[in-house]
Amino acid sequence: MEDYNNYPVPENLLKDRVILVTGAGQGIGRAAALAYANSGATVILHGRKVGKLERVYDEIEALGKAQPTIFSLDFTNAVEKDYLEMAEAIAHQLGRLDGILHNAAFLYGTTPLENETLEQWQTLLKVNLIAPFALTRACLPLLKNAADACVIMTINTHAHNPTAYWGGFSVAKGGVESLVKIQAQEWEMSPNLRINAVIPGPVNSPQRAMTHPGETKRALPKPEELMPVYLYLMGPDSRGVNGQTIFCQAGK
């Protein structure tokens, strides 16, 4: 599999594009939002906590880049009407949508299956699997109108290779990988649409800190170091790359 980690990012790669980033308040989502903005995109910042999104908003403003937009929506409580209203608001306020990075994720921690409740599984599936499906479907008319539209799903090593104690989170993210392959096949006759999954691998992020509390974080790459992959897949140079699972840190 080709390694995109050393992709030489062209200046203004995403100029005039509108990109929605879910889970943009921290970690990989924040790094991607800044990278996309720095490459010329108008970024839509999604998350649950407005305060975190406002800090990322201020960071983008400080770069002197296109003014971002904030959309706060809690996927744990969202219903179809909420996703449709979000898509309508994007159409009304920005007039277009050229890409979505689905990076929002939720997990309770690692534990045996027998300790996970039905309510926990429902939440894990709703945030990690149903939300990216529902939001992509709601935004599909906008994506279809774009000359070159890309959807990226951040998944997880334990989605691709399920292991003990990752439970409902692993199942949900594994479902996302299947979703990517199905959607890619359905878009084969639409050359302006593509969708891919990204596995970041171990990275110094809040989620990693929760699942690996005893780990030395200094040894892990920062989210910013993974951005060549996210920029390549969101930009025009990745046309024709569709339905793939891309590993960050592939050469490590």
Burial of residue 147 (number of CB atoms within 10 Å: 0-12, 13-18, 19+): exposed
> What pairs with residue 69 in β-bridges?
44
In a domain, 104, yes or no: yes
Q: Judge whether residue 2 has pLDDT over 90.
A: no
Q: Classify residue 225: in a domain, yes or no.
A: yes
The pLDDT assigned to 28 comes to 94
For residues 36-53, average pLDDT? 96
Mean pLDDT of the chain: 91
For residue 209, what pLDDT is reported?
54
- Per-residue pLDDT at 94 exceeds 80: yes
195 three-state secondary structure: strand
Q: Does residue 10 form part of some domain?
A: no
pLDDT in tens, 206-230: 665 555 555 566 677 788 889 999 9
Across residues 42-69, what is the average pLDDT?
96
- Say whether pLDDT at 251 is over 60: no
Is residue 80 in some structural domain? yes
Considering the chain, what percentage of its residues have pLDDT values greater than 90?
77
> Quick check: is 78 in a domain?
yes
Nearest to 2 by CA among 236, 235, 232, 234: 232
In a domain, 8, yes or no: no
What does the pLDDT read at residue 212?
54
> CATH no. for residue 175?
3.40.50.720
For residue 157, the model assigns a pLDDT of 83
pTM (2 d.p.): 0.92
Q: What is the mean pLDDT of residues 41-49?
A: 96
| pLDDT band per the 50, 70, 90 thresholds, residue 131 | very high
What percentage of the chain exceeds 70 in pLDDT? Answer: 91
Q: What is the mean pLDDT of residues 147-164?
A: 90
Structurally, the chain folds into a number of domains equal to: 1
**Confidence class for position 109, pLDDT limits 50, 70, 90:** confident
- Yes or no: say if 182 and 195 are a contact pair by the CB < 8 Å rule: no
Nearest residue to 29 (alpha-carbon basis) of 243, 227, 252, 239: 227
Mean pLDDT of 185-193: 96
Mean pLDDT of 99-119: 93
User: In this structure, are residues 15 and 66 in contact, taking their beta carbons and an 8 Å threshold?
Assistant: no
Confidence of residue 138 (pLDDT cuts 50, 70, 90): very high
Please check whether residue 127 lies inside any domain of the structure.
yes
Residue 13 forms part of a structural domain: no
What is the residue range of 239's domain?
18-247
Centre a 10 Å sphere on the Cβ of residue 244 and count the other Cβ atoms it contains. Answer: 18
Higher-pLDDT residue of 2, 247: 247
Cα(177)–Cα(154) distance, rounded to whole angstroms?
9
Question: What pLDDT is recorded for position 252?
Answer: 46
**Mean pLDDT across 165-176:** 91
The region of weakest confidence among 23-32, 95-104, 210-219, 235-244 is 210-219
